[in-house]
């Protein structure tokens, strides 16, 4: 077989992905992740050649695409340089799609939507995405230590989040808390900060990506009580087993949609409609039915808090976000 001098020539001669093409893809994965700040794939704490190989493998084995992306790029290329540009675009798009699936990716999208709707913030053109305060001069870029921004976020007192929904509109109180921290952090930075770093700061300050620690229970009058910490709900004592048994019985009586709504009892029907992807009237009926079931099931229980806590532990996996 003739010796090839590059990926384009290799594909021209063999029509298959060979060592030259694979090596080019490896180099381009590293180039994209360095320039755009993408997190390493799941299972890796940092980027390495093995992590890059996993990205390439995932691209080659994707359902509905797979190795077609290589032949598609080659079909559109005229030479080695144009092939590299097409590969780069494919890799970047793939990593964007993967990043959006992660909890931090969802957090980034949420804060980007919030800042984009507020005139106090300005997005800096280019990649990776960065944000700054509108009062800051053009071209001011923060290049400090991330730990410094995290420390600054923790210096802000009197700000907290008691409810973090994994889907649907962000509660107004939560929006205010996020904006206070983002404003203070960006003011301290005196320039544009990467969107990824801002998400990390908020994640640390509010523990946003941890499992939900708050829910709402019913008062004796049937109204919703104030949120309480789930960690305080379940006491490590002899009553835990009984609470778990009661929760298991209630869980069996809930429909799939009711189980999805269980951690979000204090949200309205609009939120339920987004979460369940149903019409407003139908979602409202599901939510009302869930509340009625819980009210009846918990009415005679001496420790409703423990039973509700055991129920919530069954909702370990947060429901997916509705499509943007």
pLDDT on residue 67: 62
Answer for the pair 201, 153: CB distance below 8 angstroms, yes or no. yes
Long-range contacts of 216-223 (CB under 8 A, 24+ apart): 216/265, 216/266, 217/304, 217/305, 217/308, 218/291, 218/294, 218/295, 218/298, 218/304, 222/295
pLDDT on residue 127: 73
Pick from 251, 291, 247: which is nearest to 267 by CA?
291
Answer for the pair 33, 95: CB distance below 8 angstroms, yes or no. yes
Q: Tokens representing 92?
A: 């970047």
Q: Tokens representing 299?
A: 């009415």
Which residues, given as ranges, of the chain have pLDDT below 50? 1-4, 209-241, 301, 316-324
Q: Tokens representing 174?
A: 């939560």
> CA distances (Å), 95 to each of 50, 107, 140, 166, 300, in order?
16, 16, 27, 22, 52
pLDDT on residue 231: 36
pLDDT on residue 322: 40
> CA distances (Å), 296 to each of 36, 115, 116, 240, in order?
53, 43, 44, 21
Long-range contacts of 64-69 (CB under 8 A, 24+ apart): 67/17
Burial class (CB in 10 A: 0-12, 13-18, 19+), 22: middle
Interatomic CA distance for residues 136 and 16, integer angstroms: 51
The DSSP H or E segment spanning 215 is strand 214-215
Interatomic CA distance for residues 91 and 78, integer angstroms: 19
């Amino acid at each position: 077989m003739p010796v090839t001098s590059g990926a384009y020539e290799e594909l021209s001669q063999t029509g298959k992905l060979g060592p030259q093409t694979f090596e080019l893809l490896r180099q381009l994965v590293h180039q994209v992740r360095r320039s755009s700040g993408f997190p390493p794939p799941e299972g890796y704490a940092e980027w390495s050649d093995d992590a890059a190989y996993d990205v390439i493998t995932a691209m080659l084995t994707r359902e509905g695409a797979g190795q077609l992306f290589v032949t598609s790029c080659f079909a559109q290329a005229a030479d080695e340089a144009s092939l590299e540009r097409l590969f780069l675009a494919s890799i970047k798009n793939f990593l964007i799609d993967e990043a959006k699936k992660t909890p931090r990716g969802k957090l980034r999208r949420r804060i980007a939507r919030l800042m984009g709707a507020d005139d106090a913030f300005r997005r800096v053109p280019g990649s990776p995405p960065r944000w700054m305060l509108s009062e800051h001069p053009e071209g001011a870029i923060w290049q400090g230590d991330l730990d410094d921004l995290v420390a600054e976020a923790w210096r802000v007192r009197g700000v907290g989040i008691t409810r973090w929904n994994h889907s649907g509109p962000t509660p107004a109180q939560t929006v205010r808390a996020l904006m206070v921290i983002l404003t203070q952090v960006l003011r301290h930075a005196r320039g544009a900060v990467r969107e990824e770093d801002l998400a990390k700061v908020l994640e640390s300050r509010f523990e946003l990506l941890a499992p939900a620690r708050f829910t709402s229970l019913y008062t004796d009058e049937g109204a919703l009580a104030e949120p309480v910490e789930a960690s305080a709900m379940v006491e490590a004592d002899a009553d835990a087993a009984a609470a778990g048994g009661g929760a298991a019985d209630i869980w069996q009586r809930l429909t799939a949609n009711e189980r999805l709504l269980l951690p979000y009892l204090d949200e309205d029907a609009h939120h339920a409609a987004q979460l369940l992807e149903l019409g407003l009237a139908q979602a409202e009926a599901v939510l009302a039915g869930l509340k009625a079931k819980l009210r009846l099931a918990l009415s005679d229980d001496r420790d409703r808090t423990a039973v509700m806590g055991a129920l919530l532990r069954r909702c370990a996996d947060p429901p997916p976000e509705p499509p943007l």
